[in-house]
A and B are shown apart, each in its own frame.
Chain A
Amino acid sequence: MNYHINFNFVWKYADKLYWGLVLSIELAFISILIGCVIGLALAVVYNDGHPWLKRVVSAYVEVVRNLPLLLLIYLIFYGIPSIGGFAFDATESFVLTLSLYAGAYLVEVFRAGLAAVSPGVIDAGKAIGLTAWQRFAYVRFPTMLRIVLPSLSNAFISLFKDTSLASVIAVPELTFGANWIKTNTFRAVEVWIVVAGVYLVVGWILLAALRLLERVLMPGRRT
């Protein structure tokens, strides 16, 4: 075989990877933010709501968690506009998809966290005369946050990696940039090795940052 590894072409188009990575991080950040709002709201609904609402939340979680993300991406990007008679921007459609996907995973995380807050603490809040909203804001939410942080970190990293699937609907993120370079220079091995390394390093930095945050928010506990 007369193939020589040559990374020059990857460096030549490094801006594709750079801006791709920036978009990947943006996609992850926005989707995680919306996902957290969905997750937290539905977790509260699940814990305190009507049994009827509980069932709706469970249905959402089960449906989304048991379908491949790739199918959800196609379903929302190609499927929904086909019956609605409109077109999605690929990036918006992906953010919508990943947010719904993140929401379903984060409901589970927050739900378990809320359930783990000991009832005694909430009773103590009642005893000193806090209103329901105050009890949530000052007692349940902060206590829950400390409980769920480690599993939250894992979910965030996993969602960052899931942004690679945006490339299938031509959102110009990191994996799409890699594909572009591969198609235009035929330097497939080099580009995939570099991109795998980028995902790894960014993932590790993200993990280190989240572990640091855990230590700041939970000063008493050493993990």
Chain B
Amino acid sequence: MSGAFQFVVTTLPFLWQGLLVTLWVSLAVVLISLVTGGLAGIGLTYGPWWVRLPLRIFSDILRGTPLLVVIFTIYYLLPFAGLNMQPMPSVILALVAFKTAHVGEITRGAIQSIPPGQTDAGKAIGLTFAQRLRWVILPQAVRRFLPPWVNSVTDTVKGSSLVSLVGIVDLMLASQQVIGRTYEPMPVYLLAAVMYFVINYALSATSRRLETRFAYIRE
């Protein structure tokens, strides 16, 4: 028993460093994609056709390609845009692009769930477009947006494990490195699994709570 305890104590600092990277990458992607995805969703719903069409194409391409392929394509494509990036910014860009498409669709769905009468009422009392969004549409859409969005945060944390494949030492690659030294795959993977599980379970439990909290607007 003390042997297992010793193993955990010596392993944990390395995994902890990786966990911090995983959390950092996930947080950056979640925050940036919340802004870009929200804007994409508004563009998809209200934009003129020359805004909607490129957004639709962008969204369909990114949602139709495996995340792993998106990461590699952007990683090797960027130098052509004159950007010779380090792995970290490049991979964050890939995750943000992927997530923007998903958050954009969640936003679009949430906005479109608001009955058109609300917009008409806003127009009738003389609100501008920005005012209608700010005071009428978005406050109601947020309740439809939150549960699937929190769920998609779980996907981001899980998807962030793919950054290990371009050599960023996140929780996934940190566990691989520890295994490379100890030749003990099972306990290390289980430790990493517990870490991922705790984060994601908290998130999906939050999503479920929000869903029941806002269930009354279903009908």
Which 5 pairs from chain A and chain B are nearest by CB? A66-B200, A164-B66, A68-B161, A188-B76, A68-B158
- B-side residues, CB < 8 A to A, are 61, 64-70, 72-73, 76-77, 79-80, 154, 157-159, 161-162, 164-165, 172, 176, 179, 184-186, 189-190, 192-193, 196-197, 200-201, 204
The majority secondary structure among interface residues of chain A is helix
Structural contact, B193 and A75, CB atoms closer than 8 A: yes
A75 and B189: CB pair below 8 A?
A: yes
Interface residues on A, range: 35 or more
A204 and B64 contacting across the interface, CB-CB below 8 Å:
yes
Q: Per a CB cutoff under 8 Å, which of A67, A70, A82 touches B185?
A: A82
Given contacts A74-B189, A82-B185, contact A67 B200 (CB under 8 A): yes
A62 within 8 A of B: yes
Complex Cα spacing A71 to B172, Å: 7
Q: Which residues of A contact B201 (CB under 8 A)?
A: 62, 66
| Interface contact A70-B196, CB-CB below 8 Å | no
Are A66 and B68 in contact, CB atoms less than 8 angstroms apart? no
Chain A residues with CB under 8 Å of B190's CB are 75, 79
- The secondary-structure label for the interface of chain B is helix
With A189-B77, A192-B72: A78-B179 Cβ-Cβ less than 8 Å = yes
Does B76 contact A161, Cβ atoms closer than 8 Å? no
In contact, A71 and B161 (Cβ under 8 angstroms): yes
Please give the residue numbers on chain A whose beta carbons come within 8 Å of chain B beta carbons, in ascending order.
Answer: 1, 3, 62-63, 65-71, 74-75, 78-80, 82-83, 161-162, 164-165, 167-168, 175, 178, 182, 188-189, 192-193, 195-196, 199-200, 203-204
Residue of A nearest to B201 (CB): A66
| A161-B66, A199-B65 given; A66·B154 CB < 8 A | yes
